[in-house]
Structure 1
Amino acid sequence: MIDFLILIAAAFGAGVLNTIAGGGTFLTFPALVLTGVPPVAANATSAVAVFPGYLGGALGFRAELAQIARPRLLRLTLITLAGGALGSGLLLISSNDVFAAIVPFLLLAATLIFLFGDGLRDWAARHARGVTPEGAAGLFAVAVYGGYFNGGLGIVLLALFALWGFRDLHMMNGLKNGLSFALSAISVGIFALAGLVYWPQAAVMMVAAIAGGYAGAPIARALPRAMVRGLIAIVGFGMSAVFFWQWLGG
């Protein structure tokens, strides 16, 4: 019962964070590991737990998504599905020991990406001139990362869109949520078929994450953005330190 309370609290907090600024993976993944789920299965179960939120986000920006030509949106979605499938496949062949060794670095990188995401997007926007629009290789690489470990995925996608020359932030957010949903869908399907998902934990966390997503809207309006970013950074760096300590045999 204590384990499930921890998972409910983590998933609710993740729903709130994802609505406000992103970073929910920093709560769901460590909570699953803390409650005894092996690292690879914890990553898969965490992906299932936050999965519904992407659909809600995509539907919320459906008007902006409708402005993108269907052939263009289909091409981007197919690239994302291919990269997500490869990344998820790489997770399947990763042992718990190998993944546990990689996780601290992934968490640290995701935290840094989140913390400096605005600067990353600004840099991408400044260097957009002369860049071939919508290069398949860049999106495919980001999707592989997202299929393997989706921490910080949203920020990387927004930076990529800025590099392509996108300027409408609402359209960028809509496309980010739409592609994230597609990526998560293929990942969840692969993880489920492989038997990696701890379904009782995933089901409880999905409900809590949806509730947290609804609660996040008024909280987002009440809290200063800098405070939220600071809290997520503390959680991200703290979890990175814990996993580094465990990896080093602490």
Structure 2
Amino acid sequence: MSATIDLTSGLSGWLELSAILAAGFGAGMINVVVGSGTLISFPVLLLFGYPPVVANVSNTLGLVPGSLSGTIGYRRELRANRHLARLLLPASTAGGIGGAALLFVLPSEAFELIVPALITLGIAMVLLGPLVQRSAARRAADRPASTGTPVWMNIVTFAGVFLLGVYGGYFGAAQGILIVGLLSLLTVETVQSLNGIKNLLVMAVNLIAAVTFLIIAPASVDWLVVALIAVGSALGGIVGARVGRRLSPSALRGIIASIGTVAIVYLLAT
């Protein structure tokens, strides 16, 4: 059973409600700009006494509207890269299903132990992305024009996004950082374009994981928590899209690296 909010208990109940709503807003905004909002909302739910599975399931459901509003905010970038979105969306969806199912099979420690290493890898990929892209552009300029992206590159990208979908459906912390990092190495798109694709893929994973949770473990859902995080994350997603799209590529990479580093410190300290 979840630690439901008791609004008849006076100030403490309303403070809990406000804190969860604010956590949803912060998570929604950071998810759109960077992609590690779960590290805000999930610990807040644990702090108020919600069991880990209830907190994870309810948090995932609540963050879907935030991902949706962020995706709409980046619709211009998505239209410009619809070919890449169509390639990767099925990979994220399939991975999300598998990851959500694993949540009820594997202990939570299975992913939590490697999350700091994964985030470190994601930050490194984001920062190294421009160097790899420039190197690839120089090599492409030195050889005859090709007919398109090599098949092996599409396969590697699809497989990588699928595995990140599994991770996202299971735990999801900093999934967005990992997606942007991976695509920075494997594509020639700008970081803003990749941020738009990242929002779409994260939304797909959260949505499919949420549906899977509802089918497998409907009793693990606290609907008041879901509603609070949903409202907060939707508003946060709108603000995040407005802020994120105005950032320069270097500033966006710097924010990703900074928030990712804070997330690593937090995870190692808890």
Q: TM-score range by the shorter chain?
A: 0.7 to 0.9
Amino acid at match of 1:132: W
Out of 90, 98, 105, which is 2:102 matched to?
90
Q: Distance in 2 between matches of 1:47 and 1:215?
A: 20
Partner in structure 2 of residue 62 of structure 1: 75
Q: Which entry has the higher C-alpha Rg, 1 or 2?
A: 2
Of 19, 35, 50 in structure 1, the residue corresponding to residue 63 of structure 2 is 50
Change (3 A) 1:108 1:133: same
* Cα displacement (A) at 1:38: 1.5
In the alignment, the residues of structure 2 paired with residue 165 and residue 148 of structure 1 have an alpha-carbon distance, to the nearest angstrom, of 26
Q: Write the mapping of 1:8-23 to structure 2, written as runs, cut at 5 A.
A: 8-23=21-36
Partner of 1:133: 153
Aligned CA distance change for structure 1 residues 126 and 201 (closer, same or farther; 3 Å): same
Identity %: 31
Correspondence for 2:144? none
**Displacement after TM superposition at 1:184 (Å):** 1.5
RMSD: 3.2
Instruction: Evaluate the alpha carbon distance shift between residue 89 and residue 202 of structure 1 in structure 2; reply closer, same or farther with a 3 A threshold.
Output: same
Aligned to 1:174: 196
* 1:21-80 Cα shifts (integer Å, max 9, x gaps): 33211111111112122212222222122211221222223233233456x644422222
**Aligned-residue offset at 1:124:** 5.5
3-state SS of paired residue (2:35) = coil
Q: 1:115 to 1:6 in 2, by over 3 A?
A: farther
Structure 2 CA distance for aligned equivalents of residues 233 and 214 of structure 1: 25
- TM score, norm. by length of structure 2: 0.72
For 2:57 and 2:127, locate their aligned partners in 1 and report how far apart those are by CA, in whole Å: 30
**In structure 2, C-alpha distance between the alignment counterparts of 1:56 and 1:111, rounded to whole Å:** 24
Count of residues in correspondence between the two structures: 236
* Alignment partners' CA distance in 2, 1:229 and 1:5: 29
Q: Could you say what secondary structure the match of 2:188 adopts?
A: coil
* Counterpart check, 1:197 vs 2:197: no
Superposed counterparts of 1:84-233, under 5 Å: 84-94=96-106, 98-99=107-108, 101-102=109-110, 104-109=112-117, 111-113=119-121, 115-116=123-124, 118-122=126-130, 125=133, 132-135=152-155, 136-193=158-215, 194-195=217-218, 196-216=220-240, 230=258, 233=261
Contact 2:34 2:176 in 1 (8 A): no
Which stretch of the first structure deviates more once superposed, 186-195 or 60-69? Answer: 60-69
Contiguous gaps of at least 5 residues in structure 1: 243-250
